[in-house]
Structure 1
Amino acid sequence: MFDILIEGGRVIDGSGLPWYSADVGIEGERLTAIGRLAHARARTRLDARGKVVCPGFVDAHVHGDLALLADPLHEPAVRQGVTTYVLGQDGVAMAPGSDATIAYMRRYTAGFSGIYELPQRWNSLAEYLALFERRCAINVCCLVPNGNVRMEAMGLETRAPTADELKHMRRLVREAMEQGAVGLSSGLDYIPSRYASEAELAALCEEIAPFGGVYVTHMRRYDPEGVLGSMDEVFRIGALAGCAVHISHFNSRADLVLPHLDAARRRGVDATYDLYCYLAGSTILGMIALPAEVQEGGPEPTLRRLRDPAIRAALAQGFAGPRGPLETVRLGFIAAPEYRRHEGQSLAQAAAESGKSVAEFVCDVLLASDLAVGCVVPHRNRDEADVRGLIRHPAMMAGSDGIFVGMASFGASAPAPELYRHFGITAGAIVDNVKAKL
């Protein structure tokens, strides 16, 4: 007898073959039969006529590292059919690490990881993964963030590691892989991940290769002038280490990057990427607004610099130059209650409402929030045609880049849309592409 019998659905089994009509029998936690099972006995029968029955979706890039511990039922994923998260993204995440490293990562990434009072404690990757075992509604796999292991070996130094420090980092990566990690991540805009050289990353990837691990990277550049060079660095790291590579949130021009990717794949590079279907990205305000040198040394030195009149004046001059149109950046989450009324506004709107320049407002809101400010950045280098081109490629995987701060999590008027609709939009876009080819 089946515990659950799903009857009459259109089964898509993940093999790449067309759908077929069938019943699906479940015993305990496993699918045990697929076929014509109408006469079988079952404790629960579900009528799936007119519906699709398929394996759960994998969110290949999501920032639920703390949110899933705080909300184990996790309806934003479950209601989209997402059953697996790949955590540990962007080289700055929650395990492994000493108490000091984890405290830094929670503080530094609060703008996209959230601020949660959690009873759980962990240091190793094994301890972190154990917190999810049979305690949440979805499955979890985790990457080793290169920034974590770098910080364990050499703090927030900007230099290259010594031989002993690199040996320490390699050991930490190997131990995490032995404990169940699925690869290494880097976030080459974030601190301290950004300080890693190509050679350092290749050395760490040599430790994931024997386990079949994947190098997953937020590349150094995605703009048209820099994206091909960044892709080449990723391909070289994979070749040097003998591992597969994966590009996170591949937000670039399809006509530029796909021929370059295809050429690498023809040469034998095992390269894939993830993609979301909207023309903006979420990150922390400090990363996009502050030069790297202002952020050196971690939060406390950064906050001291933001109080320095000379540095504030220099930042104002930089904002007036060609750094990018910060005025259009939208505030998604602000930790400081007195500034939270600006969530959802552009920096230009928030600054004007406060009677400040954009530079003054950025410094003040970061100071008031202890740097915990998340933002949404409109894309300038791609459009809907690029999304359509990238989504139909066989190397594409869906990754929401979902964050669980601001808006829904902290009581503002609307939830972050990527959390609740990304996979529906992605599936619709794929279907539209298929129809266009017929």
Structure 2
Amino acid sequence: MFDVVISGGRVLDGTGAPPYRADVAIAGDRIAAVGRLDGAGAAAVIDAAGRLVAPGFVDCHAHGDAAVFDRGVQLAALRQGVTTFVLGQDGLSFAPGSAGTVAYASRYFAAVNGPLTALSEGPLTVAELLGGYDRSVALNTAYLLPHGTIRFDVMGASPDAASRDDLALMLARVERGLSEGAVGLSSGLEYLPGRYATAEELAELCRPLAGLPYVTHMRAYGARAGVGMADVVEIAQLSGAAAHVSHLHGPADVLLPLIDEAHGKDVDLTFDTYPYLRASTILAMVVLPPSVPGAEVDKALEMLASTELDAWWTGLASTWPRLTISHAPGLEWAEGLTMVEAAGRAGVDPAAFCRRLLVETRLQAGCVAARPDEGPAGEESVRAVLRHPSHTGGSDGIYVGGHPHPRGFGAFARFLGRHVRELGDWTWEQAVVHLASHPARRFGMRDRGLLRPGFAADVVVFDPLTVGDQATYDAPRTLASGVDDVLVSGQRVLAAGELTGATPGRALRPR
């Protein structure tokens, strides 16, 4: 007698083997058997006839650090087959840190992570953060130590190079965070204060990782990705750490040789991508020059109120049509409008409206930005890059604001519907390797990512004929289709496309 049997489906076990007809039996939180189980007794049976059965997908880059407590966000993820979020991305999150550090992360990254209202406002340890996630939500969470948060906790917003004493304090926080269950270290080298770190500083903090990855939002992407990748290679070689590049994007003829060159230098390198040609981030990072101290709001607002940046604004004329406002607290009427459209409604030019938006939101505005490669060439690059064997899936999902990027609501369903069924970039079995087994290995989840007896029973059942994304830039919060049944740790969290109310999600530690 089993607790659950998923019967009559075609199994994609995560090994890369083609789908085969089998039943999946679950006892407790583990997979008990995979095979022809005719006549097996079970407390519950899920009829998977005509559907595919796969291990739950791992979103390698999700900004659900606060939003994962939102049932709507849980539903959006599960409707794509995502059963695990990897959090702590881009070097900025809520732990480990003092109350002041938690407040900084909440404010500076307000348009990305939002505030952590479900837990303590600080001080907060990694153990406390993971404890807050554990069995409180419907999907699993894993956490990367955020370098920028750690640096701010030790050095504040200082642009100075870290001293030996600073490094010792940061290293102690890294070692403690790893002992409490972090699955790696992340950096955000276009954000503050991560931008100020040298390769030597980052390499020093990577030394204790012991096979877990250094995950980085690089210093440069697109046509300039070589600059960012050189930094990644140097850090990996100095520290011996494995490396993982976040949301890699740009021309395939630039990116693919860089990946292969890193492998040729014996760097253990993987990366994640999302299947869209627009980005999303904090507005200040996109429109303000490096001379503006974005980590120090009052100083930045003084500069914005002066004439100091007048010449800078005139050089951004081509940028305004590419920006859509995603998050504008206090100016919610502008969310979903381009900067040009919002400025027109306000009766001012785009530069003036952008300044107003930054000032009135105290730099907490967010945007969706069309990349320079938007078009057929960019689409071909996305397809070529995701076919690389070192690729894993990551949505870079942001759930803050009235008009977020659709990737948080559709990326994984788009991988399946568009890039498998429609375009044939992957087979179904290859998709499961890229979206489940490969990322589970990368982040130390050794009992997940495969449908194999003894493994955790994170299972997704989906229709290969209907799975697909429905979220668009105009309607970004539209749920995906084709995934109706999902189990996490053996419990059914999605049934007939709706949340069951069960919250078996685990805060995952490396095994």
The two structures have a TM-score, normalised by structure 2, of 0.79
In structure 2, what is the equivalent of residue 78 of structure 1? 78
Alpha carbons of 1:125 and 1:35: their partners in 2 closer, same or farther (altered >3 Å)? Answer: same
The answer to whether the aligner puts 1:201 opposite 2:206 as a matched pair is no
Q: Distance in 1 between matches of 2:243 and 2:127?
A: 24
Describe how 1:238-253 pairs up with structure 2 within 5 A.
238-253=236-251
**How many positions carry a matched residue from both structures?**
421
The two structures have a TM-score, normalised by structure 1, of 0.92
Deviation at 1:368, TM superposition (A): 1.2
Deviations 1:217-245 (A, max 9, x none): 11111131x21121011011111111110
Alpha carbons of 1:273 and 1:323: their partners in 2 closer, same or farther (altered >3 Å)? Answer: farther
**3-state SS in 1 of match to 2:137:** coil
In structure 1, what is the equivalent of residue 146 of structure 2? 145
The answer to whether the aligner puts 1:422 opposite 2:416 as a matched pair is no
Deviations 1:124-178 (A, max 9, x none): 1111011011111111111111111111111110010111011111111111111
Deviations 1:189-237 (A, max 9, x none): 11111111111111111122x2x2211111111131x211210110111
Describe how 1:22-421 pairs up with structure 2 within 5 A.
22-71=22-71, 74-115=74-115, 117-122=117-122, 123-208=124-209, 210=210, 212-224=211-223, 226-307=224-305, 309-311=306-308, 314=309, 316-321=310-315, 325-336=319-330, 339-381=331-373, 383-407=378-402, 416-421=405-410
More helix by share: 1
Deviation at 1:405, TM superposition (A): 1.2
Deviations 1:366-414 (A, max 9, x none): 111122211001111361000110111111111000011123xxxx6xx
* Contact map agreement 2:9 2:53 (CA 8 A) in 1: yes
* Contact map agreement 2:95 2:102 (CA 8 A) in 1: yes
Q: Distance in 1 between matches of 2:114 and 2:105?
A: 11
Q: Distance in 1 between matches of 2:222 and 2:387?
A: 21
**3-state SS in 2 of match to 1:131:** helix
Alpha carbons of 1:326 and 1:221: their partners in 2 closer, same or farther (altered >3 Å)? Answer: farther
- Structure of greater relative contact order (alpha carbons < 8 Å, 6+ residues apart): 2
Q: Distance in 1 between matches of 2:296 and 2:349?
A: 25
Q: Distance in 1 between matches of 2:48 and 2:3?
A: 16
* Contact map agreement 1:276 1:400 (CA 8 A) in 2: yes
**3-state SS in 1 of match to 2:267:** coil
Alpha carbons of 1:48 and 1:171: their partners in 2 closer, same or farther (altered >3 Å)? Answer: same
Alpha carbons of 1:21 and 1:118: their partners in 2 closer, same or farther (altered >3 Å)? Answer: same
Instruction: Read off the aligned partner of 2:367 and give its amino acid letter.
Output: C
Deviation at 1:3, TM superposition (A): 1.1
Alpha-carbon RMSD: 1.9
* Contact map agreement 2:219 2:227 (CA 8 A) in 1: no
Q: Distance in 2 between matches of 1:214 and 1:79?
A: 28
Please identify, of 420-429 and 142-151, the stretch whose mean Cα deviation from structure 2 is larger.
420-429
Deviation at 1:278, TM superposition (A): 0.6
Instruction: Read off the aligned partner of 1:332 and give its amino acid letter.
Output: S
Instruction: Read off the aligned partner of 1:197 and give its amino acid letter.
Output: T
Deviation at 1:347, TM superposition (A): 0.9
* Contact map agreement 1:333 1:375 (CA 8 A) in 2: yes
Alpha carbons of 1:44 and 1:99: their partners in 2 closer, same or farther (altered >3 Å)? Answer: same
* Contact map agreement 1:72 1:135 (CA 8 A) in 2: no
Q: Distance in 2 between matches of 1:72 and 1:427?
A: 21
* Contact map agreement 2:92 2:149 (CA 8 A) in 1: yes
Alpha carbons of 1:150 and 1:355: their partners in 2 closer, same or farther (altered >3 Å)? Answer: same
Alpha carbons of 1:177 and 1:117: their partners in 2 closer, same or farther (altered >3 Å)? Answer: closer
* Contact map agreement 2:193 2:295 (CA 8 A) in 1: no
Instruction: Read off the aligned partner of 1:128 and give its amino acid letter.
Output: L
**3-state SS in 2 of match to 1:186:** strand
**3-state SS in 2 of match to 1:111:** coil
Q: Unaligned regions of 5+ residues in structure 2, if any?
A: 428-511
Deviation at 1:425, TM superposition (A): 0.7
Deviation at 1:72, TM superposition (A): 8.4
Q: Distance in 2 between matches of 1:119 and 1:257?
A: 40
Deviation at 1:293, TM superposition (A): 2.0
Alpha carbons of 1:128 and 1:398: their partners in 2 closer, same or farther (altered >3 Å)? Answer: same
